[in-house]
Structure 1
Amino acid sequence: MLKILVINQHTANFGDDAAGVAMAIQLHQQFPDAELHFVYNWPWGKDQFLPIPYKQDKTFHHNEIIIQKTDLLDAIRYVSTKFLPILIKNRPQTTISAYVNLVKESDFVIVSPGGSNIGIYQDWICLFRVLVAVLEKKRPVFHLNSLGKSGNLVFDIITKFVLKRSQVFVREKKSHEMLNKWGIYNVRGVDTALSLSATVKDLSKDEQKAINLDIDEESIVFIPTRIGSWHPLYNKMNLEQTINQEIILSLITFSQKHNLKIYILPHLYSVLSENKLLQNIQDTFLKLGLKEDQVKIIENISNFRDYEKCISHGRLVISMRYHGVILSIKQGIPFISLAYENKMKEACNYSEMLDFNFDLTDDNLNKKQMLKSYELAYQNREAISKHLKNKLPILSDLSRLPLTYLYLKSLEVNKK
């Protein structure tokens, strides 16, 4: 029986949940008898831990193996012993030793699809988990990630070391080209979530019953976020001013012209919840002229399927989040991408929707531009929907590229 370890899985984020579940479904469809073990990127308390919503047989979510900053000394001790074996001693059972043992026992180690933690976010714990797999003679498989330079010399040296000893699948051209410059072989695909069932209607009756959201279909779905609190490129930008002066004002003008309601859709939940931000945005809409029945926060979102269904009901999606764009593509819903990072532009590129992508760092971003784009998308919504649905089969195939490699490698494992 194969034992597959997935590392660096994110959660408390409907987009990461969608990609993680999509990957898990792929793996169990290809290897129905395999054990699937998840180790999470979870910097908060273990008592707050939430796994992704995937509860199939032979799936294990390891809330007992959550590496945090307090494990730093043990991590340094582990790495030291790999290069100076004379230092090896009988170590007590720790989070690090439990993780190392799980890596040793696994046939495959897969790096869950995710953003630039190994890159601009400079996430040392994510990098350490991959480094352990390499030092334990495994060949990690990056399952369609965003990767890049961090700006930290030591971090980037270690990154090159592990990537050269990994099988790398990336989801954007920028990552692909950077790795080529580093001399690291990689394969370019698209986001993993594009392999999920084509529409919400494809879900089981129980799943459909669980999704009961009161959404007027004559609506705009707006997915905002507080980027400046966590993204290194935006911590000095006054993004709130852009939202208030350009985005919200343009949405008010457009929604009133076409008599559309605005639904504010949360993207994060639990410890990452942005409830205060969403309430402030709703209050701003009201102060600037909308009535209470014209703008609403969707509050009863329990999982990424709810999130996706909200997207599927919109006439137009305005998204500041990457997976808001990805799931709009999958659902065939016209969208406007307010891009905080290259991966959003890349998604617009491979869906042939670049005319509807705006860079949030662009000083020339203004209400007039946005209104023109909203109007173009809205007036051509049937043609855009048809276009996106026609693109989905090839995009779905590209979101499964790692499976080909894993299948061939599994044949080698089975011969042992």
Structure 2
Amino acid sequence: MAEIQYRLEQKRNIVGEFPGPKSKELTERRNAVVAAGVASGVPVYAADLDGGIIVDVDGNSFIDLAAGIAVTGVGGSAPAVVEGIKEQADYFTHSCFMVTPYEGYVRVAELLNELTPGGHEKRTVLFNSGAEAVENAVKVARLATGRDAVVAFDHAYHGRTNLTMGLTSKSMPYKANFGPFAPEIYRVPMSYPFREENPDITGAEAAQRAITAIEKQIGSDSVGAILLEPIQGEGGFIVPAEGFMPALAAWAREKGIVFIADEVQSGFCRTGAWFASEHESVVPDIVATAKGIAGGMPLSAVTGRAELMDAVHAGGLGGTYGGNPVACAAAIGAIQTMKDYDLPARARRIETQVMDRLRPLAEQTEIIGDLRGRGAMLAIELVKPGGKEPNPEATKAIAAQCQAEGVIILTCGTYGNVVRLLPPLVIGDELLGDGLDVLEAAIRAQA
């Protein structure tokens, strides 16, 4: 395995006030020109990224435990990604694959067909965002099956387009006052082990609960697709009980329903496997990917069984910028980096380091209700002492204290009470350890 080389010093360093004067000036400029509906979690402006470090415009160095929401798994300026972008941009930045195609698009499709779960014949189509990938996966499933109904789950997040808002569970801030939404979307219970009324319910039993709801509400003959995040993202990094996903996938196959895995956040080595579906040997009919695919460039994909993907008529899939040549070059470089550094193994090592630190802390404090996740997609669910009542106030305070001390973390969850850890997969052990020191102190301050 290749040794990771860093361009920036991998060290946290806050040199002045937080936020600094240049970031404050940029905030004033931003407020005058950028729509208020665009929110940012950290009040500083990035100037340089490398490995596990973000340097802001005032020269402060922050430990990055967010990776651009699971995008920069290979780092914010991975050499193979940067070189691929530069080389492609020297020749052309766009021609539209639907007008004059190019090899980069074909090569990314080859890689995805090889890497996604299952040895069956596959086809891939490229887009720009995770929401676009999910929306097109649903289009394919509906056309291929001739059925309109789509099943999604409690706590799900699938995007901000009209269809994907409808598929998303949480109203604020994603859906409130943006309707009406696309029809024929049905929601059924998710397996959420920490918050199950019956703590002894198995994954198979939770799947049967969902299946019963589907059969009662819709009827299996009307369902074109079941859409599931193998590990839910914005909903709180919820890992369903073992057996939940395999049971749903098996039932869908029996009923002729397309099983779509939304691997937008969980894909590309993030969970310690190339794709989170692999942890329970589930082979989806269609996989939607984005985020970590291209080291920060806008690219997404739908990869599925050849007979499903090829059922769509010519011209039925595509988009002007889908599979942009520069983004494809970045993806080729990012995937090569994942292979060179064995980033699935690196994600598993991150999980061990983080959980070894957080488990004793959970035993010592009543504020941590649950620790969960896989690989470098990990969550801390915070509760009020003495029960399971969500504690979003403490969650916000912990994030703010970490940021002020030079560690960038994200929050999420249906109840706003989950700290999520998404470090770049190339972060060093020492730097990660320093970030965990700061996080631990912030949690203890709220305990």
Q: Which TM-score applies when normalising by structure 1?
A: 0.31
Q: Which has the higher helix share?
A: 1
